């Protein structure tokens, strides 16, 4: 993925508490525009909390998050999000689910009716990219779990966000479908100037997709390691069996074992 600018996202001295529970402590991260970053760590370390703070859905207790130089003090508009569960609306067909952000997010909502044919064409192009051409008129219950996640990725990208936040979007899928969707996500991101932050427990997934990986400690979550991934793109599944790839996964696992023991 092409990197065009530095410090598109800057997180400084960020902490988050819930009552007397310290979820995050003194987080400092710099993320370049157009890069793919993963956040990994033991369960309960605050990865999802950090993602919500970055998105503006949650306010930090201390510190600041800046996106494109502006402090985040409200939910971001130029963001796409995808979660572990696809959360497609069961009463809307797949295409209408994908179009939903355009009905809500400015400036698209003001011109949705006038530009709807253009937006439909954009949705159908995304469906084609993720291997769901011809499924736009289907209902969510007519799709498998993997197909629903493909549709969710389309919905997250339909309004061409500058930032894509992914909270374990493939965790509920079987290993074969999950690996297939790594390739789908790589293809989607390669064609778009989009900064991506992925929260995942799957270290193979993080190495496969990322430019940089940040490892968090057990709660209170802190950044204890940062690892650049020097693997050429595009990446193929055969790469996951290569010694260099396996070594990177083991290195990250070692950091997390230390974090669990701390």
| Sequential DSSP letters for 201-218 | S-HHHHHHH-SEEEEEPS
Length of the chain: 262
Residue-range domain boundaries for the chain: 1-78+164-262, 88-161
Helices (H), 59-111: 94-104
- The architecture in CATH of the region 1-78+164-262 reads 3-Layer(aba) Sandwich (3.40)
Q: What is the pLDDT of residue 261?
A: 73
Q: What is the pLDDT of residue 105?
A: 84
Across 7-11, 114-118, 189-193, 228-232, least confident range: 189-193
Q: What is the pLDDT of residue 227?
A: 96
Check pLDDT > 90 for residue 108. no
Check pLDDT > 80 for residue 51. yes
Q: What is the pLDDT of residue 4?
A: 43
Cβ neighbours of residue 141 closer than 8 Å, sequence gap 6 or more: 90
Sign (positive/negative) of CA torsion 45, 48, 49, 51?
positive
Task: Supply the pTM of this predicted model.
Answer: 0.93
Average pLDDT, the chain: 92
The CB density around residue 57, as the number of other CB atoms within 10 Å, is 15
CB 44 within 8 A of CB 216: no
């Amino acid at each position: 993925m092409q990197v065009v600018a530095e410090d598109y996202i800057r997180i400084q001295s960020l902490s988050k508490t819930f009552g007397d529970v310290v979820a995050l402590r003194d987080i400092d991260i710099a993320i370049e525009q157009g890069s793919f970053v993963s956040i990994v760590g033991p369960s309960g370390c605050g990865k999802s909390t950090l993602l919500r703070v970055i998105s503006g859905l949650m306010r930090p207790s201390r510190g600041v998050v800046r996106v494109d130089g502006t402090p985040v003090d409200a939910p971001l508009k130029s963001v796409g999000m995808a979660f572990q569960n696809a959360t497609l609306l069961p009463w809307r067909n797949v295409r209408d689910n994908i179009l939903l952000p355009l009905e809500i997010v400015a400036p698209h909502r003001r011109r949705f009716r006038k530009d709807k044919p253009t937006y439909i064409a954009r949705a159908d192009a995304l469906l084609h990219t993720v291997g769901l051409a011809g499924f736009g008129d289907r209902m969510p219950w007519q799709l498998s779990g993997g197909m629903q996640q493909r549709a969710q990725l389309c919905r997250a990208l339909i309004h061409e966000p500058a930032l894509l936040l992914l909270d374990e979007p493939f965790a509920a899928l079987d290993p074969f479908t999950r690996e297939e969707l790594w390739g789908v996500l790589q293809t989607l991101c390669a064609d778009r100037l989009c900064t991506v932050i992925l929260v995942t427990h799957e270290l193979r997934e993080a190495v496969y997709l990322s430019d940089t990986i940040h490892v968090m400690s057990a709660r209170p979550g802190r950044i204890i390691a940062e690892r650049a991934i020097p693997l050429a793109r595009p990446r193929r599944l055969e790469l996951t069996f290569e010694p260099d790839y396996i070594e990177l996964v083991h290195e990250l696992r070692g950091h997390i074992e230390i974090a669990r023991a701390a």
